[in-house]
Amino acid sequence: METLNKNKLVDIDLKDYFAVIEKQDFNKLSLEYYTELFTEKDYFDRKPYLFRRQLIPYDKRFDLIEIVFDDSKKTKAICWDFKLKYRDLNEYFGKPILHYSAYSESTEFAFISSNKTIEIIITRIPGKYIEEENRMELKNETSGEIENPDFSFIQFTLK
C-alpha cells in the first residue's frame, strides 16, 4: 500500500483521488493519520452518538471533511463535502444502487467497493429519483423532469 501524501493528492483529478483513497487498507490507518492527511488547521470533535471530527480540508476542492469514529478511536466513516454531478458519481464509482427513503424523503445512492475494508460508498439527494435507461441522468419522480442533479457529499462507510 502506497503512503498517501496530501501534497500529491491535491494535484490529481477527483476521479483518481477517490481511486487512490478507495485502495487504502482502512484497518491499518489511524484516526490521527487521516486527520493529518486531510487537514491543514485545527479540527473540532463533537459527539451526537459517535464522535465526529470536522476538518478544514488541506485540499480546497472540498468544503469540509468529516471523520466519524467510536470511543476506541476506530474510524467508522469518512465524508467529503463538495459539489459533484450525477455523471461524476457514475464515472468515479460505477453504477449505483438507488433506494428511496420515505422517512427522509430522499434517494440514497450506494456503490459497492472491491475494498474489503469499505462497507459501502454512499450519498443522497432530496426527492425521489429513478435512473433513466441508457442515460447518465435521473428522472425526478415528483416533477417528471430529466436531470443531472448536484450532490453535496460522498461517504465511505468502513467495516
Task: Find cell 471523520 and name the residue.
Answer: 67
* pLDDT exceeds 70 at position 1: no
Q: Read off the C-alpha cell for 70.
A: 467510536
Share of the chain above pLDDT 90, in %: 67
Instruction: Convert the pLDDT of each residue in 114-147 to its tens digit.
Output: 999 999 999 999 999 988 776 678 888 888 888 8
pLDDT at site 134: 65
Instruction: Convert the pLDDT of each residue in 10-27 to its tens digit.
Output: 999 999 999 999 999 998
- For residue 60, name the pLDDT band (cuts at 50, 70, 90): very high
- Chain CA centroid to CA 151, Å: 10
In this structure, the strands spanning 146-147 and 138-140 are antiparallel
Q: Where are the beta strands (DSSP E) in 2-149?
A: 44-46, 51-55, 64-69, 75-85, 97-101, 106-111, 118-126, 129-131, 138-140, 146-147
pLDDT at site 153: 97
Q: Which amino acid is at 157?
A: T
Q: What is the mean pLDDT of the chain?
A: 91
For residue 72, the 8-state DSSP code is: T
> Which CA distances in Å does 18 have to 23, 101, 155?
9, 26, 11
Q: Which residues contact 74 (CB under 8 A, 6 or more apart)?
A: 31
Q: Read off the C-alpha cell for 158.
A: 468502513
Task: Find cell 478507495 and name the residue.
Answer: 22
Instruction: Convert the pLDDT of each residue in 84-114 to its tens digit.
Output: 999 999 999 998 999 999 899 999 999 999 9
Q: Which residues contact 78 (CB under 8 A, 6 or more apart)?
A: 21, 34, 65, 66, 67, 68, 155, 156, 158
For residue 58, the 8-state DSSP code is: S
* pLDDT exceeds 90 at position 2: no
pLDDT at site 24: 92
pLDDT, average across residues 46-66: 92
